[in-house]
Structure 1
Amino acid sequence: MTQFGKSSSAKRSKPSYAYAIIGVALILFLFGIVGWMSLNLKKWGEVLKEQLQVNAYILPSATQKQKDSVFQFVTSLPYVRNAEYITKDKAIASYNLENDSSWKKMIDYNPLPESVSFFLNSNYVNKDSLDNLRNLLLTNYGHVISEFQDPQKTIQNVGSFVKYATIFVFIFAVIGTIIVIVSIDNTIRLAMYSNRFIIKTMQMVGATRGFISRPLNVKAVINGTIAALIAIVAMIAFMLFAESVVPWLKQLRDVTNLAIVVAGMLILGITISWVSTHRAVIKYLKIKLDDLY
């Protein structure tokens, strides 16, 4: 009779493990997507800041030597990513691409000034750094530069959005992590429920707690690893698909952030699977035989 119960339980445990692996993988996949979005939110803010253009407009009376001096000074700054000298012809050509050319009917000359246009590293795209840069340029080249233009309002809006979005996503990620841990724990405990008679039978024939729990813990680590690997592959596939649909998402790809998310998924899958399995084994070892039914 014991052998029949053991065989029946063993048969039921196999699909339970499969379902547990799939369930844990799905939960870890959702966790990975949230983690990927959370870490990339900061990266997205940095990319957005580095696309904001800063302009130093040149006085019409400036000599070529003075123009070259300003351009060389700007390009020598360590926090300037790239710079370009915009001539009057380039300025008007760029304007015509974004606007109509009806201005030619009213004036017959090019009213746009020459300028040095450049982009900064994201760490320097803030009010204080831009004010310092403005003072630096105007102090050294006030007789050459007519105006220093930077998107202060846009920078403030981007900074505020990223700040509040980061707080929101962080809170959501914390809540999501708690849900993930509870969900995995319940999934593993449900899978272990089908093994309760096997565990109790081994205890009744004299097996020690360590002898009983060791193979189940090893199985839990293996299952947790398999579930995590499935979730990681699915998450990377989702990322590649998202990048193919929305090409600018490729700019947010960060190997370090991806490694953090992958490591978190792997550690979480293995740890929670092992802890939940061990707790379930101890529970069924302590419970009375009649209470198993």
Structure 2
Amino acid sequence: MSSPNKASIKRGKPSYFMSILGVTLVLFVLGLVGWLVINANKLGNYFKESVEVRTYLRGDLNPKDSVALMEYISAKPYVKTIKYVNKEEGKKIFIADGNTSWDKILDYNPLPNAIFFKVKNSYLQTDSLATIKADLKEQTYVSDVEYPEILVGKMNYNIRVISIWMIVFAIILAVVVIILIDNTIKLAMFSNRFLIKTMQMVGATRSFIARPMNIRAIINGAIGGVIASVAVYLLVILAESQIPDFKTIRDNGMLAMLFGILILLGILISLFSTNRSVTKYLKMKLDDLY
């Protein structure tokens, strides 16, 4: 038969499993939102930089002048990628865009040769694109310049609004996560209140009482952060397998920073809450513990 003292100590041990589980779940949710915030910005830049400016050339332009114009545009700081599109390639793009071939009506290709280029993210603003268009139309060899003006305006507005709301939501969620983890740790420490008071009554110092509990808090917080990080990473892999575009915009540096923040946040909040609980129970009278 176990002695009453052993039974009392056993009952006094905090539920570390539930503490770790609670920390893991709330950190996982925060990590998921953090990943969405990172990807919202990256995905916005990815879509913005996929906008193509199409510069159509004069029909009587010789190859030497075409090369000169290509070199002129390539030297511009706003160009991300550039390619020369001849008439046959232009026809393929025209049909791929959902248009009907003119083969039954015309016996020649009416499309001009063209230069397609994508603009860097920092230049993808309505006024910047308008300046680029005006500059290119002044070139002797250019007949017309086109880009989706309405799409660019709506895209910039939508990305800006979504980013602001995502950041606000992430901040609110971070506050909620801190409160939830704090409450989870306090509940775990509640079952340890008699052990803390007993150690104080036999002469143990505050640092002596708190040291093993702080060490356990650091371990529990780190475990919760690591498990949450692994769960978020597995979800990222799953999302990338379903949506390949996520893989092209993945920033391993930002992802590693996010995981580091989750682990550090788990440790700091667990340590802070444990210290606060120990201090609270040390200040309480024995009768108030019941």
Counterpart for residue 53 of structure 1: 52
Q: 1:101 Cα deviation (Å)?
A: 4.2
TM-score (ref. length: structure 2): 0.94
Select which of 203, 207, 227 maps to 1:206. 203
Counterpart for residue 103 of structure 1: 102
Pair 1:292–1:46, CA change in 2 (3 A): same
Give the Cα separation in 1 of the matches to 2:7 and 2:112: 86
Give 1:49's aligned amino acid. Answer: K
8 Å contact kept, 2:61–2:141: yes
1:132-171 superposed matches below 5 A:
132-139=131-138, 142-171=139-168
After TM superposition, the structure 1 stretch with the greater mean CA deviation from structure 2, 127-136 or 257-266, is 127-136
8 Å contact kept, 1:6–1:198: no
Deviations 1:61-112 (A, max 9, x none): 2222211111121222243222111111111122233436452222222111
Answer 1 or 2: which has greater helix percent: 1
8 Å contact kept, 1:9–1:197: no
Pair 1:102–1:240, CA change in 2 (3 A): closer
Q: Percent identity?
A: 41
Give 2:117's aligned amino acid. Answer: F
Q: Secondary structure at the match of 1:113?
A: coil
Q: 1:9 Cα deviation (Å)?
A: 4.7
**Structure 2 residue 283 is matched with structure 1 residue 286:** yes
Give 2:239's aligned amino acid. Answer: A
Give the Cα separation in 1 of the matches to 2:4 and 2:192: 10
TM-score (ref. length: structure 1): 0.93
Counterpart for residue 7 of structure 1: 6
Pair 1:10–1:146, CA change in 2 (3 A): farther
Counterpart for residue 189 of structure 2: 192
Counterpart for residue 240 of structure 2: 243
Q: Secondary structure at the match of 1:136?
A: helix
Give the Cα separation in 2 of the matches to 1:156 and 1:5: 74
Give 1:267's aligned amino acid. Answer: L
Counterpart for residue 130 of structure 1: 129
After TM superposition, the structure 1 stretch with the greater mean CA deviation from structure 2, 97-106 or 114-123, is 97-106
Give 2:157's aligned amino acid. Answer: S
Give the Cα separation in 2 of the matches to 1:13 and 1:57: 79
Counterpart for residue 82 of structure 1: 81
Deviations 1:2-24 (A, max 9, x none): x9565335434557111100110
Q: Secondary structure at the match of 1:119?
A: strand
8 Å contact kept, 1:216–1:277: yes
Deviations 1:115-151 (A, max 9, x none): 1001122112112322232233234xx2110111122
Q: Secondary structure at the match of 1:94?
A: helix
Give the Cα separation in 1 of the matches to 2:237 and 2:208: 45
Give the Cα separation in 1 of the matches to 2:4 and 2:75: 79
Give the Cα separation in 1 of the matches to 2:58 and 2:48: 28
8 Å contact kept, 1:54–1:150: yes
Q: 1:32 Cα deviation (Å)?
A: 0.2
Q: Secondary structure at the match of 2:117?
A: strand
After TM superposition, the structure 1 stretch with the greater mean CA deviation from structure 2, 11-20 or 162-171, is 11-20
Give the Cα separation in 2 of the matches to 1:124 and 1:75: 15
8 Å contact kept, 1:9–1:195: no
Counterpart for residue 90 of structure 2: 91
Give the Cα separation in 2 of the matches to 1:13 and 1:197: 7
Pair 1:39–1:9, CA change in 2 (3 A): farther
* Unmatched tracts of structure 2, length 5 or more: none
Q: Secondary structure at the match of 1:56?
A: strand
Counterpart for residue 264 of structure 1: 261
Pair 1:291–1:5, CA change in 2 (3 A): farther
8 Å contact kept, 1:58–1:146: yes
Provide the aligned C-alpha RMSD in A: 1.8
Give the Cα separation in 2 of the matches to 1:73 and 1:47: 25
